[in-house]
Amino acid sequence: MRGEQPGAHALVAISIAMTLTACSRASFPAAPTAVVAPGPEMVHLEAELGSSPLDIRKRLRASGGMTVPLAPGERLSGLFDVRGSQTPYGVAVTYANGQEGANETLHVSLDGVRIRTFVDRDSGDAVEGWETFVTDPAGSASLEPGRHTIAIESEGGDGCVEIDFIRLVPIN
């Protein structure tokens, strides 16, 4: 047996398991939950599994292989659950935005309250940019246990930005 780094393998396995748990809960919010984490955990929401899916696009390098293109005025939202005690979370949005023209203004809200408005950036040129993903901070909020809604709305710009996923990470 050459288990030089058994600890590292264990960490990888745990990390993958947590990610899958978060994903499956995000995609099937009404499904029974078998795993209850003792403390605050990261929430990973694939845009394509959102509760108001608009259009879905296949992108090889996207998380889950898919994105949701948002045109001006379109809004993507998703549901997630917080367990344990009230916890401050930092929100981040990962997206692709090939350089076509003007950049979009993105409005991020949690439970109907806007937590950040920012102008997105180009992730690359008009070809490769759509397979290149960047992450921007999108505000923070202290969340009580229970169900929450996060939403992103696009305004202006050149007509398209593709949202890959949203993450909420507990802030220590």
First to last CA, the chain: 38
- Binding Ca ion (rule: CB under 5 A), the pick from 22, 26, 62, 76 is 62
Minimum CB separation from Ca ion for residue 84, in Å? 26
- Binding Ca ion (rule: CB under 5 A), the pick from 23, 63, 123, 152 is 63
**164 in contact with Ca ion (CB under 5 A):** yes
Minimum CB separation from Ca ion for residue 85, in Å? 30
Specify the residue for token string 């030089």.
4
DSSP state letters, 5-20: -HHHHHHHHHHHHHHH
In terms of Cβ atoms closer than 10 Å to its own Cβ (0-12, 13-18, 19+), residue 132 is middle
Specify the residue for token string 């993105």.
106
**162 in contact with Ca ion (CB under 5 A):** no
Element (H, E) at 55: none
The shares of helix, strand and coil residues in the chain, as percent rounded to the nearest 5, are: 20, 45, 40
**46 in contact with Ca ion (CB under 5 A):** yes
**136 in contact with Ca ion (CB under 5 A):** no
For the segment 75-134, give every residue that binds Ca ion (CB under 5 A).
97
- Residue 40 or 69 with smaller CB distance to Ca ion: 69
Minimum CB separation from Ca ion for residue 130, in Å? 10
In the complex, residue closest to Ca ion by CB:
64
Binding residues for Ca ion, per CB under 5 A? 46, 62-64, 66, 97, 157-158, 161, 164-165
